[in-house]
């Protein structure tokens, strides 16, 4: 099916940029429209310069996911939409309504734009957060899509992603304006790591200010993090599958957990494995037992609620974050392997090396603050 085109939302983000790097290698792709609110004239130049050597037309759009008319124009002539735009916040920094507007209403707006512009394929970047964990006592090892895991947290990020995913999957089979059919699917990546991760960058910069000691935030967890390049690859495979509905009917209206062969480990151990080459180490000092940490979070949330009429107090952590960071919660990618033909492109060793090299550039930028306390 020659001459197809793709719109990527959140294209300037951590995952969006990696998806575009793989998209430009796709056969018969004529145009990529890259949409992000953060794009500015100088950003456009950076984007175009990366892809000057390719025959694919790259159109950079600076637009808001809440602007319905803009979205409809952006979707004109598009074959596949890959929707990665979202606000990720599990600490309560960003107002609840802002997160709901972007993550849920923005997704609904984009689905409607696809119907009006007769876009036949829609891929949603969801999150493992829509599945839980709901309790740090809950143990899920190598879970799968048949496990009926669903987050019960009212916090805006997991709630908005869960409801947005439901909207995307419910839209599968909708009739397009030209009489065609909209096919959708959702991908639920595990915690994503890799070069240019904002979360890892924050952890490293904080540790540099603390003489190379990494803060312990998830020592009680067992997770299966996934490398950003492998998540991007899963999106490419989903796009291929939805573009040919006769060949891949199993994909339509489905969601998939996306993991890779990164070893099961705690979030703290992951941070240490990625950064130890540069002299970082974990904090070995005493920490609160997990149940006490959870109830302290509950107390802080209660204080925040009681003060809310007169003062906006944001706790350093909440129960959702404590649970998310300290649970045994891992999922298999077997369904994606079966239906999408997904196999991780990048091994754990290669992913670790690439991420570690990037961390080295952060250390170089801030080397004057690094001490040898860990060595």
Q: Which of 157, 159, 191, 227 is catalytic?
A: 157
Radius of gyration (Cα) for the chain, nearest Å?
A: 21
333 tagged catalytic: no
Q: Which residues pair with 121 in a beta bridge?
A: 80, 183
End-to-end CA gap in the chain:
57
Q: Are residues 187 and 124 in contact, defined by beta-carbon separation less than 8 angstroms?
A: yes
Distance CA 247, CA 273 (A): 41
Q: Which residues are catalytic?
A: 157
């Amino acid at each position: 099916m020659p001459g197809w085109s793709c719109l990527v939302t959140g294209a300037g983000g951590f995952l969006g940029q990696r998806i575009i790097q793989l998209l430009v290698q796709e056969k018969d792709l004529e145009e990529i429209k890259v949409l992000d609110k953060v794009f500015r004239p100088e950003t456009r130049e950076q984007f175009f310069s990366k892809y000057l050597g390719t025959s694919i037309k790259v159109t950079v759009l600076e637009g808001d996911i809440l602007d319905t008319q803009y979205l409809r124009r952006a979707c004109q002539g598009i074959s596949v939409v890959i929707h990665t735009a979202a606000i990720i916040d599990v600490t309560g920094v960003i107002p609840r309504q802002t997160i709901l507007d972007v993550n849920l209403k923005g997704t609904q707006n984009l689905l409607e734009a696809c119907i009006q512009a007769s876009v036949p394929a829609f891929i949603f970047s969801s999150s493992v957060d829509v599945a839980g964990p709901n309790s740090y006592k809950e143990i899920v090892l190598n879970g799968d899509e048949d496990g009926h895991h669903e987050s019960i947290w009212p916090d805006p990020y997991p709630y908005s992603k869960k409801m947005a995913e439901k909207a995307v999957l419910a839209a599968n089979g909708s009739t397009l304006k030209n009489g065609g059919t909209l096919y959708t699917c959702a991908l639920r990546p595990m915690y994503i790591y890799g070069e240019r991760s904002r979360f890892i960058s924050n952890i490293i910069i904080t540790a540099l200010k603390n003489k190379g000691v990494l803060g312990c935030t998830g020592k009680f967890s067992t997770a299966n993090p996934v490398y950003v390049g492998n998540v991007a690859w899963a999106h490419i495979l989903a796009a291929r599958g939805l573009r040919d509905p006769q060949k891949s009917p199993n994909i339509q209206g489905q969601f998939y957990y996306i993991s890779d062969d990164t070893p099961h480990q705690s979030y703290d151990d992951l941070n240490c494995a990625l950064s130890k080459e540069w002299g970082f180490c974990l904090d070995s000092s005493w920490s609160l037992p997990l149940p006490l940490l959870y109830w302290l979070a509950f107390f802080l949330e209660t204080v925040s609620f009681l003060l809310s009429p007169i003062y906006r107090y944001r706790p350093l952590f909440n129960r959702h974050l404590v649970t998310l960071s300290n649970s045994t919660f891992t999922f298999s990618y077997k369904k994606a392997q079966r239906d999408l033909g997904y196999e991780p492109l990048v091994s754990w060793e290669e992913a670790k090396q690439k991420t570690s090299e990037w961390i080295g550039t952060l250390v170089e930028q801030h080397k004057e603050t690094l001490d040898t306390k860990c060595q």
